[in-house]
Amino acid sequence: MTATCPKDLKFDANGLIPAIAQDAATGDVLMHAYMNREAVDLSRETGFAHYYSRSRGRIWRKGEESGHVQRIREIRYDCDADTLLLAVEQEVAACHTGNRSCFYRVLGAADGGTEQAALRFDPAAVYGGLGVLASLYASIRARRQDPQPESPGESGIAGGDAQIRAKLADGAAEVLQASQGGDRARLVAGMATLWFRALELLAEHDIRPEEIAGALGRGPGGKMGSPATPSGDSA
């Protein structure tokens, strides 16, 4: 019998409801994402967690790229019927950064930064090289929410769109000069800085690296090539 979404669930104006995944055995919170009605139905029908990606504008099954699926043991919803709680069996890890849980950082750690658990997998190996960029992007997003001016590159984040664009332009000029001069080491360093500035700009506009990977996979104009791209198993 096909499972149907309970009528009393309260979805927001975009048709979404927050969903928290929790380790069924330990109770550890693994991740936070969103579902629409179809994702709820698919999750109940298949027994595997499905979510709705706001950045990609589509439903995705957790682990569709990495294989790190979530087998659902139970789905609950709160007293206001506006949040879901999934008790799951998590394969390997829930976070695309390689951590078991997406909540691996500690706010107000003793050193003023964050604490990170041992990685359960290598993101670069799993996501074909996108993992490094995805991890750096996540770090940039986190620092935007909790600015630390003393950190390298922080001024670009703190300055907003205009300052990021200015630094991106400077970085592009540096790369062109290095390329013209044939200085390989300078070109590598300059390109690394340019990519960092590009990730800052993406974060400023809430665009994820996998969206760019998708555009690259489709080719110029989004009309050519294979559309298959790393999803990063993230919402």
SS3 content of the chain, % helix, strand, coil (to 5): 40, 15, 45
CB 49 within 8 A of CB 86: yes
Q: CA angle 30-34-40, nearest 5°? A: 100
> What is the distance between the alpha carbons of residues 212 and 19, in angstroms, rounded to a whole number?
26
Residues 127, 206: one domain?
yes
Each residue's pLDDT tens digit, 160-219: 888 999 999 999 999 999 999 888 899 999 999 999 999 999 888 888 776 777 676 655
Residues 130, 209: one domain?
yes
Task: Read off the pLDDT band of 228 (50, 70, 90).
Answer: very low
> What is the distance between the alpha carbons of residues 167 and 157, in angstroms, rounded to a whole number?
10
> What is the distance between the alpha carbons of residues 123 and 198, in angstroms, rounded to a whole number?
20
Mean pLDDT, range 42-58, rounded to an integer: 92
Residue 6 in domain: no
Whichever domain contains 172, its CATH number is 1.10.287.1080
pLDDT at position 70: 95
Whichever domain contains 51, its CATH number is 3.10.20.810
Residue 27 in domain: yes
> What is the distance between the alpha carbons of residues 49 and 39, in angstroms, rounded to a whole number?
8
Tokens representing residue 175 in the block: 């790369």
pLDDT at position 129: 61
Residue 76 in domain: yes
Residue 233 in domain: no
> What is the distance between the alpha carbons of residues 126 and 133, in angstroms, rounded to a whole number?
13
Number of H helices, E strands in the chain: 7, 6
Residues 127, 199: one domain?
yes
Task: Read off the pLDDT band of 6 (50, 70, 90).
Answer: low
Q: DSSP 3-state assignment of 63? A: coil
Each residue's pLDDT tens digit, 109-152: 565 556 666 788 777 666 666 666 776 777 787 776 655 554 44
More confident residue, 11 or 116: 11
pLDDT at position 11: 97
Phi first, then psi: what are they for 234, rounded to 5°? -135, 155
Domain interval for residue 137: 123-222
CB 96 within 8 A of CB 119: no
Distance of CA 69 to the CA centre of its chain: 16
Residue 227 in domain: no
pTM: 0.58
Residue 5 in domain: no
pLDDT at position 123: 72
Tokens representing residue 160 in the block: 């907003």
Task: Read off the pLDDT band of 73 (50, 70, 90).
Answer: very high
The domain tally of the chain equals: 2
Q: CA angle 14-101-120, nearest 5°? A: 135
Q: DSSP 3-state assignment of 200? A: helix
Residues 136, 216: one domain?
yes
pLDDT at position 125: 67
Residue 113 in domain: no
> What is the amino acid identity at position 219?
G
Average predicted confidence (pLDDT) for the chain: 81
Residues 42, 132: one domain?
no
pLDDT at position 57: 86
Beta bridge partners of 22: 29, 87
Mean pLDDT, range 75-86, rounded to an integer: 96
Residue 108 in domain: no
Residues 184, 133: one domain?
yes
